[in-house]
Amino acid sequence: MCGILGIISSDTNTNVASELFDGSLYLQHRGQDAAGIVTCGRGGRLYQCKGNGMARDVFTQERMSKLVGNMGIAHLRYPTAGSSANSEAQPFYVNAPYGISLSHNGNLTNGEELKKYMDEVVHRHINTDSDSELLLNLFAAELATYDKSRVNENDIFKALEGVYNRVRGAYACIAMLSGYGIIGFRDPHGIRPLLIGERLKDDGQRDYMLASESVVLKAHGYQVYRDILPGEAVIISKDKMLPVFKQVVPLKSYSPDIFEYVYFARPDSVLDGISVYRSRLLMGEKLAQNITDYYKSQDKNVLNEIDVVIPVPDTSRHSALQCAITLNLPYREGFIKNRYVGRTFIMPDQKQRQSSVRRKLNAMASEFYGKSVLLVDDSIVRGTTSQEIVNMAREAGAKRVFFASCSPVIRYNHIYGIDLADNKQLVGYNRTENEVSLKIGADHVFYQKLEDLIDCCQRDDSLKDHERELALTPVVSRDNSIISMIARNDEAPEITGFEAGVFTGKYVTGDETSYMLRAEQARARNARRSDSGSTGMDILDVKAPSEINIFNSGDY
């Protein structure tokens, strides 16, 4: 999961860089490794600033002041392919044809095949191991086939059709054609999120924003927004300033990644018409019901077994609160979060993740001493957090430590956006629930059932006329006065299911065994290389040197 963002403003005298920067801060939780912005100014001239680090570090005021232009795209990276090298920071850029930049959220599963195609058929040089560079070059190669000095919307949609037909995996993308406009497109299953928003200004002109999450659109005054559908693309050219949509390929399914609701997305976002916050509340409620049922089946009363419910900050807070309310137990913030430490799960190496859990969370003995505590987290993935947290609870004097996960046991790779090359890194891999409990040192582990999790992630009719409707089928603004240019003529299609491969081992794009095998081999190869002192660069989880190459000047 990365964060992507694009803006095109009707005001040719404005510089969108500052809004892109601000928007990036709203998407920081989706990627902490690298950040980048490319803007396009007069004469189609591009201005870029990108590199490893958080948005606030990469986007200094001085650098921002040099990014001119009324359109631009941004990226917040959490690497899932290639390495975490500086040179793989996005947006990527190719000069031919037309000067194209691209921000990609997702992970391709046929990168190897695409690399071969680039080499043998279209003869394009690929300079990094990033799948996003491949995707951009494929788009460029498709556009180049028209051999025109200027492309039109039809050519772009046709080129995207070529991309859709060749690419496998998850992709939500924002591209920018120098001097032309911005383009958004989403894979035919809609695995990763992408929305478009429209802002009507006092002068009657409109600005457009494309973003991974609705929270960015809302926060920046885009009054109307909606999800891009699976297989759909949108083009907003600077000349027309009118979004043109096309269902480029038929929707294969409508299967957003359920992990967006569990962990990835911000709670105040509404993705594909589903409120992330509401879904997390329901996760807590369902979990509480399961816990009650478990004790009932043993002729016990949950109120005699557990004294207090404590969340594992940050993501699980809302679920934990709802869980406590449903169980009729007190809720206490026993762990205090250090606000200066980011998300630990998306840090690039295991040592860093482990040490960061303690740096990030501190247990207050007053809330643990002599008590039976129920710790609630959104997920248990590698088990880094849960093991550390259970230890901390015991050190703080807890009598018994129960651990509840708002999602089911994670036994399989997440191939569309979590940096895992190997199932064996998962604490749930080949372990029963009791074995997980032993491994993390808890007295008992409670897991959500998959069917319950799916029930929690539904479009909620009670939200009509509020966020849900806006995110689905906008026609007019809240005050009924604005006829939106991004309205759909028909009802948004129903979600057909969720991408839940981490729980089931079945992926919406089909059998991906060979991709996983290749990823595993690459990791092993890399481990050997780094043992022998070489700087392997072709897989994840390796802190690559911040080398300077053609895509990056090193000083951004």
Ligand X SMILES: O=P(O)(O)OC[C@H]1O[C@H](OP(=O)(O)OP(=O)(O)O)[C@H](O)[C@@H]1O
Contact present, 227 and 486 (Cβ < 8 Å): no
Could you tell me the smallest distance in angstroms from the CB atom of residue 385 to Mg ion? 6
Rounded-to-integer distance, Cα 20 and Cα 224, Å: 18
The answer to the question of residue 105 lying near ligand GLN (CB under 6 A) is yes
The one catalytic residue among 2, 40, 323, 406:
2
Buried b / exposed e across 199-222, counting CB within 10 Å, b at 16+? Answer: bbeeeeebbbbbbbbbbbbbebeb
Which partner in ligand X, ligand GLN, Mg ion, none is near 79 (CB below 5 to 8 A by kind)?
A: ligand GLN
Of the candidates 207, 199, 177, 223, the residue with the CA atom closest to the CA atom of residue 10: 207
384 is in an annotated binding site: no
Could you tell me the smallest distance in angstroms from the CB atom of residue 417 to ligand X? 14
406 catalytic, yes or no?
A: no
Quick one: 380 or 471, whose CB is closer to ligand X?
380
Residues near ligand GLN (CB under 6 A), total: 17
Could you tell me the smallest distance in angstroms from the CB atom of residue 315 to ligand X? 4
Residue 449's contacts (CB-CB under 8 Å, 6 or more residues apart) are 286, 290, 408
- Write each residue from 45 to 84 as x if it is in contact with ligand GLN (CB under 6 A), else as -, in one continuous string: --------------------------------xxxxxx--
Phi-psi group of 415: left, alpha or beta (phi > 0 → left; psi -120 to 50 → alpha; rest → beta): alpha
The answer to the question of residue 130 lying near ligand GLN (CB under 6 A) is yes
349 is in an annotated binding site: no
- Write each residue from 285 to 324 as x if it is in contact with Mg ion (CB under 5 A), else as -, in one continuous string: ------------------------------x---------
**What's the maximum distance between 2 C-alpha atoms anywhere in the chain?**
77
Quick one: 1 or 306, whose CB is closer to ligand GLN?
1
Phi-psi group of 63: left, alpha or beta (phi > 0 → left; psi -120 to 50 → alpha; rest → beta): alpha
- Residues 159-218 contacting Mg ion, CB under 5 A: none
**Pairing mode, if any, of strands 46-52 and 274-275?**
unpaired
Q: Which residues are at the interface with ligand X (CB under 6 A)?
A: 263, 312, 314-315, 343-346, 377-386
Which partner in Mg ion, ligand GLN, ligand X, none is near 384 (CB below 5 to 8 A by kind)?
A: ligand X
Residue 276 — φ and ψ, nearest 5°? -65, -40
The neighbour count for residue 258, using CB atoms within 10 Å, is 25
Residues at the interface with ligand GLN (CB under 6 A): 1-2, 77-82, 88, 104-107, 130-132, 417
The site for Mg ion (CB under 5 A) is made up of 315
> Residues with catalytic annotation?
2
Return binding residues for Mg(2+): 315, 377-378
Which residues are part of a known binding site? 315, 377-378
